[in-house]
Amino acid sequence: MKVISVKFAPWDNEYYFLPEDKNGNEFNDIKVGNQVLVETAVGSDIASVIKIQNKEENIITSSEKKDNKKFDYVDKRGDALDIKPIIRLANEKDLEVLKKNNLNNHKILRESRRFVKKYELNMKLTDLHVSYDDVMLVIAFIADGRVDFRELVKTLSKKYRKKIRLYQLGVRDEARICGDICDCGQVLCCKRFLSRLESITTGFARDQQVSHRGLDKLSGVCGRLKCCLAYEESTYKEKLVGLPQLGDTLKTKEGEGIVMDINPLQRKVKIRLRENRNIVEIQY
């Protein structure tokens, strides 16, 4: 049994749906990149298929109860999932309706920013999405912390006669939306293929012996540590097992010394001897 992951906007969360209609008829021709019409808790909308996977990969069949509601699926993190079937593959008429609903997005965004300024809110509106049924208006924004935008929501709801949902992004999400070229010469990974932004810590740089390069070299255009630091982290973690840390004192055949350099991939350690300041290399 397969499950599809979809997004209603590039910056939105992933949502799970079954590639079948309400009668259980499967859509075997669904591919990544297809647009599908789905029913959500707030209405109908069109989403892009970003992943097709077997249910067993990330989803487990289970009778899970949450808030007095039964769920047939949970993900591997234990979160209950309410996986519903899609309505159908979106046709040209559906896509034309969605396009028409979103024609004035730039104007709405511009006007909404004026209201943000009026209410003196410390937030930056970056993008928006109007649903297929023209009922829901989702606005993405960036802010350093929590923002009390209740008055803004009331004003926007009254002006545009739609349900308003404000979706907070991080600075990394903004880079993913806008896109850019990293110093490796490639389009940003988050723009090209990363569907989820993992947490990157300075420990990754220490493990990979690149922390000496400084934050300027290790940070991406978003100002945060580069996502690519995570690509080889598991390998470095594995290679570091059993190796001493920088600054540790070790005894060798030549005498006692301090660890001054570690090469995890080759599993070699350089030690400066206390007695004569010579450097010796040990293979682990």
Instruction: Please give the structure tokens belonging to residue 214.
Output: 């400084």
- In this structure, the strands spanning 84-85 and 15-18 are parallel
What pLDDT, in 10s, does the model give residues 151-165?
999 999 999 999 999
Q: What is the pLDDT of residues 47-97, one digit of tens each?
A: 999 989 875 555 544 444 444 443 444 444 445 456 889 999 999 999 999
User: What percent of the chain clears pLDDT 90, i.e. is strictly above it?
Assistant: 61
- List pLDDT tens digits, range 224-280: 999 999 999 999 999 999 999 989 999 988 899 999 999 999 999 999 999 888 999
Whether the CB-CB separation of 82 and 41 falls below 8 Å is answered with no
Show me where the domains of the chain are located.
2-90, 99-169, 192-240, 249-283
Fold classification of 99-169 is GMP Synthetase; Chain A, domain 3 (3.30.300)
- Predicted local distance difference test score (pLDDT) of residue 78: 43
Q: How many CA atoms lie within 13 A of 24 on its CB side?
A: 1
